[in-house]
Amino acid sequence: MSNESSEGMPGQPDRSPEDPTGSRASRRVTHDMKHATVVIFGASGDLCQRKLMPALYTLCQEGFLPEDFAIVGVARSQKSDEVFREEMRAAVQEHGRLGLDEQTWSRFGSRLHYRSGDLADPASYERLREAIDEVEGERRSESVRLYYLAIPPSWFPVTLQNLSTSGLSTKEHADRVRVVVEKPFGEDLESAAVLNRQVHEAFEERQVFRIDHYLGKETVQNILVFRLANGIFEPLWNRRYVDHVQITVAETIGVESRGAYFDKAGIMRDIVQNHMLQLLCLVGMEVPARFTAEHVRNEKVKVLMSLSPMREEDVKTSVARGQYAEGEVDGQRVPAYRYEPSVDARSSTETFVALRAFVDNWRWAGVPFYLRAGKRMCARTTEITISFKKPPLALFKLAHESLPDPNVLIMQIQPEEGISLRVGSKRPGSRFAIDPVELAFNYATSFGDAPPEAYERLLIDAINGDSTLFAREDEVEYAWRFISPIHEFWRTTEHCPVHPYWAGSWGPDAADRIINRDGRAWRNEGPGKTAGTDH
């Protein structure tokens, strides 16, 4: 368990009950933090160029970085500071949310530094130490330092070990030295536990920030605000009023350039174990005693501990996996998964999974949580749907040819972020007919600006030492305790087939059978509404 105090970590901004996640203005660095150094391992990689550097630049542009900061990129290739700055300028120009401002870039670009090195070579870390000492100068003893491991998981162990042996992790200054670890956090329970031990050899738990970019999205953060800052919803957020919950992560893209990685991981490891279970935790968690990292993460862990374990029979009846076949997505013909680059032509890796889960606690007993994630689906959407129970008395049954639809709360996370509530209303006219209508808001139209990128929020939180939106070690391991038995049953039983589904559909029929068996249906509302077909 984390050893953070209930008062939060040093440098962590206070939150009031009226603003539990902190407004955009309150996310500025704390007044006593004047110096910060961000070290990015893997600075030549796609993550750095598409996400990290544009996010750091935007934070600088909006005044969220400390007045004195430095960014040191580390990668194997040889290049000068000037070449690195030009590459990062192009990355910001292409991927930055607010575009490139010359005055801001002049300040930001001058703070960029680069050091080449082999992550397996201890000498590289000695040279890195010299570079950090050089850019920090006299502020070395008071600067916050953030190491970001934007590298493949296979490089985590040796990098962590060298950070420790070189003294760069400096546990004696745990209040101002931190490390950000990208997913995946292991590939099963055993490997996740090993990774946690390796991390702790270099860093204390309070120094570790396991990042899941989904938790930086505005709508995800707004789940708790929506529940806890509005008195009309939390009293309904339980088994008495909620019929079921659906969480969908659907992508129209295939595996693109990630074929080699994805073919070993599958969508259960790539999306369900982290993104989707995090969303489930935020929907299902109890109200924390206080809004601190410790209290919030305690409640999330309780949800994972309460997930009903998957037995072999549950896997057979409540889990369906699929793999996309050739089809049409957005008007383009796309190949089957097995014909994607770097994918085994005989692969049985799942590109789709659907499952029914139960949270066995007082609040949610008997309420099914239906989760599904898939690639090459007919629409790109990530959403959480809370379906409420129907009224106990059908007062309008005689006057209306069919019963009104149940109320549904929809939290749209992407591609557009917003929340809508579907209610029944009488259609205008002399005929008594009840139609569903939506009360909705969209972040971009309601607040005048597009929401910030997830990495912007998460990076400034890590710099500030606020771990609320990051996974804790026990959180990761309890998630794997739920997922790993499913993989084990898939590996050892012949009764869990991989169902083909057409690219451009909503997945295989086997997924529909899981939810239809309970008298419910998936919320398939996108460009296409045709269910997938096993074939």
- CA 28 remoteness from chain centre: 22
Q: What's the CA angle centered on 149, arms 271 and 223, to 5 degrees?
A: 40
- Residue reference for tokens 């700055």: 85
Query: For the chain, how far is it from start to end, CA to CA, in angstroms?
Result: 47
Mapping DSSP onto H, E and C, the string for 272-308 reads: HHHHHHHHHHHHHCCCCCCCCHHHHHHHHHHHHHHEC
Pairing of strands 381-388, 242-250: antiparallel
Catalytic residue at 499? Answer: no
CA gap 428, 470 in Å, rounded = 49
Which residue from 52, 64, 66 is spatially nearest to 22, judged by alpha carbons? 64
Neighbours of 350 (CB within 10 A): 27
Identify the active-site residue in 275, 295, 487, 499: 275
Please list the residues that pair with 147 across neighbouring strands.
39, 179
Structure tokens at 102: 């010359």
Phi first, then psi: give them for residue 234, nearest 5 degrees.
-55, -35
Closest CA relative to residue 148, chosen from 42, 262, 287: 42
78 — alpha (psi -120 to 50), left (phi > 0) or beta? beta
* CB distance 358 to 367 below 8 Å: yes
Structure tokens at 353: 């999974």
Which residue in 182, 172, 102, 192 sits closest to 150, CA to CA? 182
**What is the 8-class DSSP label of residue 359?**
B
**3-state SS, residue 500:** strand
Distance CA 378, CA 527 (A): 7
Rounded CA separation 115/260 (Å): 29
Q: Which residue from 436, 433, 428 is spatially nearest to 396, judged by alpha carbons?
A: 433
Question: Distance from CA of residue 354 to its chain's centroid?
Answer: 18
How would you classify residue 22: left for phi > 0, otherwise alpha for psi between -120 and 50, otherwise beta? left
Catalytic residue ranges: 275
